Amino acid sequence: MQLTRFDRWLREKFVYEIHIQTLRPPEAIPRGIRAFDLPDIPGKRYKHLFIADSSTLADELIAVLNESSQMYTTQIIDKDRWYVPFIAPKDKSVTWWLVSTIFITSSVILTLLYLKELLLDDHLRKNLLDALKLFKNG
């Protein structure tokens, strides 16, 4: 299903985190970025991992890396939080789920209210009871 602007904003704000891997640490790390040293694994080129929770923080770090001509790679990864499946279900739109849930719930409530009013009508209730008596006796 196609994502709405609201869905994309929710994912960018609360779900995605940006991983930036470098060969060596930059001269300055912007405030709000978490830094980790990666284990020395054969075949792995990058030694340092920086995690930014927003694209503006990642852009600041990337600007610092570009100024010092450092090689880096970036990945956008879903956070490992309990609320991520509710905000960003796979291949589904939260907005359309909310709209359809509200539509179905309101339709059911309005239908039940209409049926309640019909059943409280004395004339209709008398006719229904007469029809039931005919059906039983007939």
What digits encode the pLDDT tens for the residues 34-61?
Answer: 999 998 888 888 999 999 999 999 999 9
Judge whether residue 125 has pLDDT over 90: no
pLDDT band at 92 (very low <50, low <70, confident <90, very high): confident
Q: Which residue has the tokens 């709209």?
A: 99
d(CA 20, CA 73) in angstroms, rounded, equals 6
Whole-number pLDDT of residue 1: 65
d(CA 55, CA 16) in angstroms, rounded, equals 9
d(CA 23, CA 44) in angstroms, rounded, equals 10
* Mean pLDDT, residues 112-131: 89
Which stretch of DSSP H or E encloses residue 78? strand 72-78
- Cβ-contact 50, 57 below 8 angstroms: no
pTM score: 0.72
118 or 82: whose pLDDT is higher? 82
